[in-house]
């Protein structure tokens, strides 16, 4: 009798403030690799996010609707404790540049020390999105630059609304 591997749940955490097409590319690629993917918004008020957790979850939910095995959630506290509570055996992290790798490597080693049974998988950013970050998208938009193609259209619309509400918002 052949051994059937158990389904693998992966977790893709982030601030997603806002979600970019680079995030969506990693979600699409991860959804093919794992049986279930939980995309989870970090609730970290120390970062002074532009959008609330519920707004980010709403945008994510809209953006990932087409993926049957992707779920949107939020968390605070230790990532590995949240992953364990959700039954995730894998944490997905995107790498755009060497600077990302250095930070992610440190976090991976700490997470492995805290929860040895949870692995971290790094996916390299697709070349077209290797320079895109939520921070950079917000800054370019705030300064009047064109961000079409870098974020889903509904995110661009949300950014426009947010900056019209408070033009001094960063």
**In DSSP terms, which residues pair with 12 in a beta bridge?**
39
Q: How many CA atoms lie within 13 A of 100 on its CB side?
A: 13
Question: What is the sign, positive or negative, of the torsion defined by CA atoms of 54, 121, 117, 7?
Answer: positive
Active site residue 130: no
Active site residue 160: no
Which one of 28, 36, 89, 96 is the catalytic residue?
A: 96
Which one of 134, 138, 158, 162 is the catalytic residue?
A: 134
Do 61 and 165 contact (CB within 8 A), yes or no? no
Active site residue 47: yes
Phi then psi dihedrals of residue 76, to 5 deg: -140, 165
What is the Cα–Cα distance from 132 to 14, expressed in whole angstroms?
Answer: 14
Active site residue 54: no
Which one of 23, 56, 93, 162 is the catalytic residue?
A: 23
> Which letter does DSSP use for residue 148 in this model?
B
- Catalytic positions are 23, 47, 96, 134
């Amino acid at each position: 009798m052949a051994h059937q591997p158990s389904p693998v749940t992966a977790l893709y955490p982030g601030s997603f403030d806002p979600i970019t097409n680079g995030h969506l590319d990693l979600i699409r690629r991860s959804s093919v690799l794992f049986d279930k993917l939980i995309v989870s918004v970090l609730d970290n008020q120390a970062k002074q996010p532009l959008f609330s957790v519920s707004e980010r979850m709403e945008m994510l939910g809209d953006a990932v609707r087409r993926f049957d095995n992707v779920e949107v959630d939020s968390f605070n506290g230790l990532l590995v404790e949240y992953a364990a509570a959700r039954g995730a055996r894998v944490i997905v992290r995107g790498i755009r540049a060497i600077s990302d790798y250095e930070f992610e490597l440190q976090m991976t080693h700490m997470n492995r020390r805290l929860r040895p049974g949870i692995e971290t998988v790094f996916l390299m950013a697709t070349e077209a999105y290797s320079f895109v970050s939520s921070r950079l998208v917000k800054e370019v938009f705030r300064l009047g630059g064109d961000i079409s193609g870098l974020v889903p259209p509904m995110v661009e619309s949300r950014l426009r609304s947010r900056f019209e509400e408070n033009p001094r918002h960063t």
